[in-house]
Amino acid sequence: MTHNEARQEIERLTAEIRRCDRLYFVENAPDRPDHEYDALVKELRKVELAFPDLIAPDSPTQRIGEKLEGKAEVVQHATPMLSIENVYNDGELFDFVESAQKAASRPLAWVCELKIDGVAASLIYEKGVLTRALTRGDGVFGEIITPNVRTIRDVPLKLSGDFPDYLEARGEIYMTNSNLDRLNREGAERARAAGKEFKPFANPRNLTSGTLKQLDPKVCAERNLRFFAHSTGSDPTAVASTHFEFMQKLREFGLPTAPLAKRFDTFDQAFAYVQEMRENLASLDFEVDGIVLKVDDFAARAEIGSTSKFPKWLVACKFEKYEAQTTVREIVVQIGKSGVATPVAELEPVEIAGTTVSRATLHNIAFIEEKDVRVGDAVIVAKAGKIIPKVMRVESYLRPQNPEPPRFSFPERCPSCDAALVRDQKEEAKRDENGALVKVDGKTVKEFVDGSFIRCPNPECPAQFRERLAFFASKGAMDVDGIGASLVERLTTSRRVDLFSDEQPPLVRSFADLYRLTPEQLMQLDGIETKSANNLTQAIQNSKTRGPARLLTALSIPGVGAQTAKDLVKDFRSIDAMLEVESAEAFTATENVGAILAQNLFQFFQSEAGRRIIAELKELGLETALPALPESTNADGGFENALPLNGKTICVTGTLNRYDRVKIKDTIEANGGKAASSVSKKTTFVLVGAKPGQSKIDKAAELGVPTITEEEFETMIGAADAPGSDDNPESNANGLLF
């Protein structure tokens, strides 16, 4: 091979390796199996050894440098790496958002990102080449960790695309839970072989911090650290006008960014996503200690400003994480309201954050397979915010060796109704036996493969109905006060009135049965006295007026959440109209309803069971339609229906007579309006109840935004004669709003 041929071969191999790195680390879509990638690196190293003068500093083979001596050098950051203000409850979050909106001259869009529990770092690229990496340090000075950061495979040594001459990418260096388990397992095996005691690494963050301080980059390379970018210390406006756009640019340059990040036009949308993310953090393979909410627009950030300690345009919604080690005694499978079979770990009871934890969800079959959870395993269980226990990782180095416990096998039949369980299918790119993508005429071939969920397909499954009934009565659905999991269990279980009677069928076998309950029937259940029975039946009857959107949410149609239900009711005006659609495509006209969800809706409303449910509930007096629209004159002198709050934005403050926080928001949206969490120039009215927030009243006065009473609001929507829940606003305990 000539010198020129070697140069061309090095360029070809380097370009292909960088392409593979980008697909693997940034796009999560590798198109080569690991052994092919390793062969490319091996071939590149071979050519470079033959022609050492052609080795470039940013070559993929040059990640691991020589061992350092002494302490790491400390240098000053070009711009300080400020802290992030933390909030620990929704009230503090609402206050932050209101303050940010007040300081801005425009409505704010928001970006939600995971707050990864690692080590903050700054990566500096000059003319696309990584020249320096620093720890955050005290925010003003940081330690140089460039040799160790070069070993992190998802950190590009050279950027790709149309990058700026100078770029400072700030982010988090972290370690996955599975990698920590690997290191502990390998360390335990070495210790056993040497007859020594093994001291395990305690947690990913501490190990990451210690690894970055190592003087030998080979140690860092062996520990397989990772990196996510989340911001910059240089001027982002050179390449983008918003944060979300800038994050997209970083990915184009080859830098991985925080996963699951999303942009929202309103805070209400962002807040809903924050709540959703809180429930799904345990499925991630890395530690997360919060969710960051950022103003998206850079110009708006400049208006909002910063303090000496932290920017005022972002906040971390933090939760304290409490952990403990325990043992998996058994793995059982529970059937949910949509038929999904969820594995649950029965644990040796352990105290975490003041409560005893004996169960934790294992989510789905993919979670069990990835973490390899087995009966008898030692596991780390965490409670985020002192609420929901999650299995974070398996301490497999403590697993018995002779014999090793078997892997968990999912049951083949439903534990409730004995129907054969089926595994969901998902569509993904087809790969050959070597892991490479299969293409025909330049297009990637798709195939259906096993998904993450296993479910019971029997719609009459008792366990499914029990879960659907609990959800039907829950606060986010029909909000029937007094019905919890324990009562649902008793309502849906066969019983005997006394020792000598025959077994009686369950009191509730359908949603309609709930509304047919009498106090006398309820008093047949242990522990329910006359007063409780009367209160409960009254609460059930009161829920009839929750409205069609709440009812649609409560029906547990797969994929139909609260917002989708509101959108559908707003478009169709009634559940009755949904019964009359002639094809699934009719539902896709509603925003964010895709083909699969439309098919779910169509199947439900066309099914005998679905139509029977709606007919029974309507006959029992539940609201299945919005009020008739008032008529307004159109441009041609005729009449057309119009929602009374179309185009109006309403902010609510104080305590109302007839509405709690959820119901007033539903009512505003059902009548065509937008419910805002803060007052701005775009606010049409501020609806004022008892004990309003003074800051919102002052802001309305400053901007000249009119205020209206609850009675004026109901007149506006044509509901002035609606029955009130309580004439005394101070006694309406659920009425406290913003």
Write out the catalytic residue numbers. Answer: 115
Tell me how far apart the alpha carbons of residues 170 and 200 are, in angstroms, rounded to a whole number: 30
With CA atoms as reference, report the closest residue to 657 among 572, 599, 737, 571. 737
CA 37 to chain centre: 33
Helix %, strand %, coil % of the chain (to 5):
35, 25, 40
Tell me, what amino acid is at 654?
G
Q: Which amino acid is at 651?
A: C
Per-residue b or e along 645-678, where b marks 16 or more CB atoms closer than 10 Å to that residue's CB: beebbbbbbbbbbbbbbebbbbbbbbbbbbbbbb
Q: Cα–Cα distance between 423 and 369 in angstroms, integer?
A: 14
Number of H helices, E strands in the chain: 24, 26
* Mode of pairing for the β-strands spanning 341-352 and 321-335: antiparallel
> In whole angstroms, what is the distance from residue 439 CA to residue 79 CA?
48
d(CA 237, CA 16): 31
Please tell me the distance from the alpha carbon of residue 315 to that of residue 85, in angstroms, as a whole number: 5
Both tokens of residue 10?
């090095």
Quick one: how far is CA 378 from the chain centroid? 27
DSSP structure class, residue 431: B
Other CB atoms within a 10 A radius of the CB of residue 482 amount to 14
Query: CB under 8 Å, gap of 24 or more: what pairs does 406-411 form?
Result: 406/374, 407/372, 407/374, 408/331, 408/343, 408/368, 408/373, 408/374, 408/375, 410/333, 410/341, 410/343, 410/365, 410/454, 411/333, 411/341
For residues 433 and 217, the answer to whether their CB atoms sit within 8 Å is no
DSSP-H helix ranges across 150-242: 177-194, 204-212, 217-223
Amino acid identity, position 194? A
C-beta separation of 110 from 93 below 8 A: no
Residues in CB range of 449: below 8 A, 6 or more apart: 425, 426, 427, 428
DSSP state, 302? H
Say how far apart CA 617 and CA 620 lie, in whole Å: 5
H or E segment to which residue 519 belongs = helix 519-522
The two tokens of residue 357 are 């934890």
Which among 151, 135, 160 has a CA at the least distance from the CA of 75? Answer: 135
**How far is residue 244's CA from residue 298's CA, in Å, rounded to a whole number?**
10
